[in-house]
Amino acid sequence: MRKYFFILSAVTLFTACSQNAITGRNQLSFYSEDELRTAALTQYRQFLTESKVVSTSSSKDAEMVQRIGKRLVQAINTYYAQKGLSAELEGYNWEYNLVQSNEVNAWCMPGGKIVVYTGLLPIAQNEAALAAVMGHEIAHALAKHSNERLSQSAIQQMGGQVVGTAVSGKSAAMQAAINTAYGIGSQVGALLPFSRKQELEADKFGLIFCAMAGYNPQEAIGLWERMSQAGGGNTPEILSTHPAEATRIAKLKEMMPEALKYYQPVNSK
């Protein structure tokens, strides 16, 4: 019986893998993207009702977040079209919001729901650096890292259950997992961390999208240096899932020549 259980589990894991269109990497994905986006949308809307959203009518910072978001999405549409992958963007209904909070954080949920916290702005210091953060977070969503890390978390929590049975039809559990993944209602350090491989993928494509949107991707270097120094003894929340040690910054520098190939400056602030 034990033998058949492991065979069934192995088959389930194998069939739950899919290849990501832009990274080319096989990923664990127990959830369909449609159900993940639906669950994310529910949590996103609830988050906005419980948060202080900064209005574009009264804040230039909110206007800036909107402007960056639109430019990044335009660049992403172009990038995917050039690769013949436009169909991959179906189901993305992009939104960009600035939320009043002292947390140094930003995220992009499945389906393109982007939130920037006002606590990030003093560290970003300029529009191009903020674009680097937003590009990075959007890249996580496009690379389907949320599905991957939620699936990996499901394996860890399953114990002796068969994978397919454990995750099927549990929308409430999925919404709770999304809350944990993005730190909604949680304490610092309770977020599901991205892996090193996921971080490098988000760095790479985030730099490319930032450059294609007309923002200097080199601003990402100074940004992450400032991020790693922020808060003194208190780690900014974004760093609990986005390590910014010297080796990571060195990797960004290695990626920069490729990103700069996509860079065409436009008037940015």
Residue 109 lies in a domain: yes
Residue 265 lies in a domain: no
**pLDDT for residue 182:** 67
Is residue 237 part of the annotated active site? The answer reads: no
Supply the pTM of this predicted model.
Answer: 0.81
Give the active site residue among 127, 137, 148, 219: 137
| Look-up of token digits 């210091």 | 125
CB 132 within 8 A of CB 223: yes
Q: Which residues of the chain have pLDDT under 70?
A: 1-17, 152-193, 231-245, 267-269
> From CA 139, how far away is CA 207, in angstroms rounded?
9
**pLDDT for residue 7:** 34
When divided into structural domains, the chain yields a total of: 1
Q: Containing domain of residue 33, as a range?
A: 2-260
Q: Which residues partner with 19 through β-bridges?
A: 26
Residue 267 lies in a domain: no
CB 47 within 8 A of CB 109: no
Residue 154 lies in a domain: yes
